[in-house]
Amino acid sequence: MITGKNYIGNRLSSKGTITYKTFHPELNQENEYVFTEATQEEINTAVDLASEAFQEFKQVSGKKKAAFLNVIADEILTLEDELIQTYCSETGLPEGRAMGERGRTVFQLRSFAELVAEGSWVEASIDTAIPDRAPLPKSDIRKMNVPIGPVVVFGASNFPLAYSTAGGDTAAALAAGCPVIVKSHPMHAGTGALVASAIIKAAEKTGMPNGVFSNLNSSGIEVGQQLVSHPKVKAVGFTGSIRGGRALLDLAAKREEPIPVFAEMGSVNPVVILPEALETRGAVLAETYAKSITLGTGQFCTNPGLILGIKSEALTNFIEKLAVETVKINPSCMLHPNIVGAYETNKKKLLAETGIEVVGAYKEAVKNNYATQVVATVSGSTFLKNPTLHQEVFGPFSLVVQCEDKAALEKIIAALEGQLTGTIIANDSEIGTYNSLITTLQDRVGRIIFNGVPTGVEVCPSMVHGGPYPASTDNRFTAVGVNSIKRWVRPFSYQDFPNALLPEELQNENPLHIARLLNNTMTRDKI
């Protein structure tokens, strides 16, 4: 049931006076529930509770944390149709997408549960003592990852389930042993409230300390700012715009104790199509890319917003075909009037720049909050000179850059901002002559795709979702996959510590039977 209140730990609370509703973009009307924004007092209480809960939660075993995460997944599934309907009413996205995203969310929670139940993720490392070493004896030193403390998670507008309340950031932080305070995304506060109730139920059922999770409503930027500035908050996870992510990064950097902000931000996900591939399969590529550009109304951080090729007849044909195929697709609803508004503004701004030619644009009348897709093109030299053309237009938009030659193409790639992904479309016969281009692209991205599309982010250990700034604020970490847990931990060393006082992960007997680096050799053996 959606109450419109905040969860301050496991207590519902609505002391504030600022209220707001979510919006049904398909129906173009407000939804019924009224949400009350968290007050400064409620924020402080939530953080204090999280900080207290941390003292207990950081010592909870991997198996118990796994049970907690699995019960969260169970409770989310128990919400059944209420969750799916709320999700659709707050996003304009179809039921199939809602169910797919719920599936991914549940999968992520269970993946982290498996990871921490098994236990080797702490990267235990043991160097045993050498008492008779000359000139000085060597101490016994043992290390493992420990949680860093309360984490604030900002829900993403475009992933109400998989990257919001119980999404990847939250699942990773809870798995690590960090209490989480979610700053609920105002566009899908109802979805968030339902998921929050599932987490709270799971916390109670599995005996987690009160304060291990809180969910705070907010309609503006104040709640988030207060959370990031709070001395007891130790890290921040964010998915959203460059402007928003950078503002939080700057705020965190100004604190007396600066804290890490892991923000996953904008990206145009450049796609480089090499000449032979264009020549031999341009038409098929155009069809594939028309779908990728319009997938989810272009509301993916891996949307291919920029396609790079070398001027040729084949490229001209590809652009025309891409335009035709893209315009053919039925327009769809965006998440919120504000998102459509931003799309139209950014599109208009980019199209007004000198040298931009619109090749295909959906021209029919559309319903309110529907986005009309556009494919445009520009010469390489114009693109290189104008930074405005490098900016993301979040939505079903793509810009094809016609580079003068191979050298110009490589120069443009080198001049791009940091990106989440880069894609190379090439035939086997030509790839060998573009080695330095591929290397240059690698420097600008976190993931490189061969002969595919950037949309679709596999949740697996080898996935990197993150890239050089401004794709993300710290590309030493991924935001997707179980390795994202590393954002919320720090290594900790015990020197000459009594065996009985060590955490089980580091005890001689290896009671958890985890993989450990023992005197530089990986083993599950006891000492």
- Does residue 88 have an active-site annotation? no
- Does residue 95 have an active-site annotation? no
Dihedral sign from CA coordinates of 294, 299, 300, 305 = positive
Per-residue binding letters, 388-407, with a copy of itself (x by CB under 8 A): --------------------
Applying CB under 8 A, does 431 fall inside the site for a copy of itself? yes
Applying CB under 8 A, which part among 131-139, 150-158, 210-218, 317-325 lies near a copy of itself?
Answer: 131-139
Residue closer to a copy of itself, measured from CB, 216 or 235? 235
Catalytic residue, candidates 264, 325, 410, 417: 264
Applying CB under 8 A, which part among 8-16, 324-332, 384-392, 460-468 lies near a copy of itself?
Answer: 460-468
Extended beta strands in 117-229, E state: 125-127, 141-147, 151-154, 180-183, 213-216
Whether 320 and 359 have beta carbons less than 8 Å apart is answered as yes
Largest CA distance in the chain: 84
Question: For residues 307 and 328, what is the distance between their CA atoms, to the nearest angstrom?
Answer: 19
Pick the closest to residue 489 from 7, 115, 13, 17 (CA basis): 115
Other beta carbons within 10 angstroms of residue 79's beta carbon come to 17
Question: For residues 362 and 321, what is the distance between their CA atoms, to the nearest angstrom?
Answer: 14
Applying CB under 8 A, does 249 fall inside the site for a copy of itself? yes
In whole angstroms, the minimum distance from the beta carbon of 5 to a copy of itself comes to 32
**Which residue matches tokens 């001689």?**
508
Applying CB under 8 A, does 15 fall inside the site for a copy of itself? no
**Which residue matches tokens 């402007």?**
243
Whether 153 and 173 have beta carbons less than 8 Å apart is answered as yes
Catalytic residue, candidates 88, 178, 301, 333: 301
SS3 363: coil
Whether 263 and 240 have beta carbons less than 8 Å apart is answered as yes
SS3 content of the chain, % helix, strand, coil (to 5): 45, 20, 35
The terminus-to-terminus CA distance of the chain in angstroms comes to 52
One of 2, 76, 98, 126 touching a copy of itself (CB under 8 A)? 126
One of 30, 80, 330, 450 touching a copy of itself (CB under 8 A)? 450
Q: Which of residues 464-503 bind a copy of itself (CB under 8 A)?
A: 464, 466, 468-470, 473-478, 483, 486-487, 489-498, 501
Applying CB under 8 A, does 136 fall inside the site for a copy of itself? yes
Q: Which of residues 18-77 bind a copy of itself (CB under 8 A)?
A: 55, 59
Applying CB under 8 A, which part among 11-19, 193-201, 248-256, 397-405 lies near a copy of itself?
Answer: 248-256
The residues assigned a catalytic role are: 264, 301
| Residues at the interface with a copy of itself (CB under 8 A) | 55, 59, 125-127, 136, 138-139, 141-143, 146, 148-149, 249-250, 253, 257-258, 260, 418, 428, 431, 435, 438-439, 442-443, 446-452, 456, 458, 460-464, 466, 468-470, 473-478, 483, 486-487, 489-498, 501, 515, 517, 520, 522
